Amino acid sequence: MTLEYPVLRRSTATDFAAWLDAARTTGAVALIDKAEDWTSFDCVAKLRGLVKVKKVGHAGTLDPLATGLLVLCFGKATKDISQIQDADKAYDVTVRLGATTATDDRGAAEEASANVEAVDADRIVAELATFVGTIVQTPPAFAAIRHGGRRQYDLAREGKAFTPRERTVHVHGIDNVSIAWPDVSFTVRCGKGTYIRSIARDLGASLGCGGYVWSLRRTLIAPYHVDDALTIEEVQELVKALQTS
């Protein structure tokens, strides 16, 4: 995937003035390293105000507790958001075993499983391997996808009964596995629509001990990498420097 728009990234930040002009006219893309506790919409709203472009969208939601690469499109570039959303992605994740949460991450109260003992590392690695390939997932109840025309997380917060629809996704690989009970850390390389929280939940279920995402960082939306992304604060400094030059 190659988009024909200027991309604001660490390696092109010295040309910020030219990028800003494109964002306001012909369209542009920005690579943002999202901080924890920011929603994806928070980032969109902040950059919309900084750049002074009304039409801004993000190419793939990150949960508030997740960090890492968020690709924003400005102006005419928003028409190509789907191309970015369809790209392969990579995540660094830590799963905490031995408990569950309502949100499948540490954003909700932990419910410890009864009489849990540490699971053998070889068994954990073997179970992780079953998630590689084409798999069927049930998205978390607290998810941004729509169910009956409404966001699932709104239905879940209201206590409405619904059954998330299964989806078929592709996991290209699970690598760099590190185990220090009760935490399991690894890298997931996957196709579009893959829920890492579902992998954490289902891994815990298959091991019989429960599991949820403790930390999650998106490192790649092919071909863009988080190492080349800027923080919101760094973009603010670029805008400030341009205004005072």
DSSP state at residue 141: S
CA distance 124 to 208: 11
Q: Provide the strand spans (E) within the chain.
A: 7-8, 28-34, 56-58, 67-74, 89-97, 99-100, 111-112, 133-137, 146-147, 150-151, 167-180, 183-190, 211-221, 224-225
Amino acid identity at 16: F
Q: How many CB atoms lie within 10 A of CB 7?
A: 17
Q: Catalytic pick from 33, 63, 105, 202?
A: 63
Q: Please say if 21 is a catalytic residue.
A: no
Judged by DSSP in three states, 14 sits in: helix
* Active-site annotation, residues: 63
